[in-house]
Amino acid sequence: MSRYTELAERFGTPTYVYDLDQVAEARDELFSLLPEGFELFYALKANPHMDVAREMRGGDAGGCRAEISSTGELSIAIAAGFDPAECLYTGPGKTDGELDFAIAAGVRMFSVESLSDLRHVGAVAMRHNVVAKALLRINTVSGSAQTGIRMMGRPSQFGIDSETLPELMPVLTSVPGVRVAGAHFFTMSNAKDEASLLAEYEYVIEFAAQLQQEIGLPLEFLDIGGGFSSPYAVPGERAAYSKLRVELTQLLDLHLPRWRTGEIKLACESGRYLVGSSGVLLCGVVNIKESRGSKFVILDAGINVVGGLSGIGRLLPATIGVTGNDGSDVGSLVGPLCTPGDTLAKGAKIPTLSVGDVLEIPNVGAYGVTASPLGFLGRPAPTEVVVRGDEIISVSRLDYRRAYEPVEAYG
Ligand SMILES: *Cc1c(COP(=O)(O)O)cnc(C)c1O
């Protein structure tokens, strides 16, 4: 019996299995792809499971720092042992309550998306008698080939329009309660080919250097973004970036030589590359039916459990792929929800299946549970089993509370 069959038998389905050995492997691999001394932020939104987050702190490279965007993510990061002072707090809609909580907890570094966001962080920091550090998230011109401070990019809730920076810089650097410490770029996600990733970094590094020289952008800290790719819900390997380390080093030496002395700290960030390949979803075949010549295999896991964001076009797959698929049959893999949208693979080559079979959907360690509409149709959350090789570390299920909690302010 395979390890997964055994886990499915013991804990039922649908069940996610995350292997910490694989988390550690991806973590160490990504550090090894980056020049020495780079910081790496783990974006908790990819998988906020506490045991997974905790694993990011390990390794010879000194471990990841946490990138968080809510009180919930910050609470998990703290419980997982991350130092709040080392976290990067991001997001376009930071509320007063969240900022209060974050600064009281010791968070000091914020990525800010606008002048008003920066002022908001500063005002809350002043209430706590501290000075927060801000990285200006910059909304650049899309397309890595162009440079030039005055060029226009696309409108976005993310980042400060780069062409407004020359005029804005003196205002940004004099906001009380907050010190501009550098810049944050996050311009691409899931870049499968190394050339486009490198072209983007070249653009970002050159642009940051230009901003520093020409308009006095403070640059103690430069987060050049991420974009490291990993397959989602289909078999495959993480993308390979064999030239990244060498070429990134050359780019930095050319444009920001002071990175060598540590005067400029460099960082990258990732979610999917770090955790995507560590997770497998085990799901069971509940029923099989034929309809007008087509076969429908009905699973106990649907978009409530996996790939939920693909429904709103944010994530890739319209089709999941199962491990060991020999393509011996043709049919649709569908979930149990009462919506035709709950289709995981439509009219695809699938294995020959019977009721009770367990399927393995690989590469779902990122954007699985956290990115799926768990509450839709009221099924229980999937079980999450964390293993390290053959050893079981924890077994849990998210309590998303189907019961309604009264709101105190009412009545
Ligand atoms: C979501 C997000 C990430 C992680 O993206 P991946 O594609 O999962 O690596 C990193 N940084 C920021 C600012 C994000 O919003």
What is the distance between the alpha carbons of residues 308 and 301, in angstroms, rounded to a whole number?
Answer: 11
226 lines ligand 1 (CB under 6 A): yes
Q: Give residue-wise pLDDT tens across range 324-352.
A: 999 999 999 999 999 998 999 999 999 99
State the pLDDT at residue 28: 98
Q: Quick one: which atom of ligand 1 is closest to the CA of 228? A: 9
CA–centroid distance, residue 279 to ligand 1 (Å)? 18
pLDDT at 77 over 60: yes
Has residue 360 got a pLDDT over 70? yes
Give the pLDDT of residue 144: 57
Atom of ligand 1 nearest to the CA of 189: 7
Q: Which of 67, 204, 309 to mutate to test the pocket of ligand 1 (most atoms within 8 A of CB)?
A: 67
pLDDT in tens, 200-227: 999 999 999 999 999 999 999 999 999 9
pLDDT value at residue 310: 72
pLDDT band at 411; cut points 50, 70, 90 = low
Cβ of residue 272 lying under 6 Å from some atom of ligand 1: yes
**358, pLDDT greater than 60:** yes
For range 236-257, the mean pLDDT: 96
The architecture CATH gives domain 34-270: Alpha-Beta Barrel (3.20)
Write down the domain spans for the chain. 5-13+277-397, 34-270
In 3D, which of 204, 255, 196, 205 has the Cα closest to residue 227?
196
pLDDT tens-place string over residues 399-408: 876 678 888 8
- 189: Cβ below 6 Å to ligand 1? yes
Which tokens is 237 given?
Answer: 């390997």
Q: Is residue 411 classed exposed, middle or buried when 0-12, 13-18 and 19+ CB atoms within 10 A define those classes?
A: exposed
- Summarize the confidence of residues 1-28 as an average pLDDT: 96
Digit-coded pLDDT (tens) for 157-197 = 999 999 999 999 999 999 999 999 999 999 888 888 999 99
H/E run at residue 101? helix 96-105
CB 337 within 8 A of CB 304: yes
- Per-residue model confidence (pLDDT) at position 316: 63
- In this structure, which residue's CA is closest to atom 4 in ligand 1? 271
- The predicted structure's pLDDT at residue 406: 83
Percent of the chain with pLDDT over 70: 94
* Contact 43 CB / ligand 1 (< 6 Å): yes
Q: What is the dihedral of CA 66, 72, 76, 77, to 10 degrees?
A: 20
Pocket of ligand 1 contains residue 186 by CB under 6 Å? yes
Nearest CA to ligand 1 atom 8: 271
Match domain 5-13+277-397 to its CATH number in 2.40.37.10, 3.30.70.890, 3.40.1010.20, 3.30.930.10. 2.40.37.10
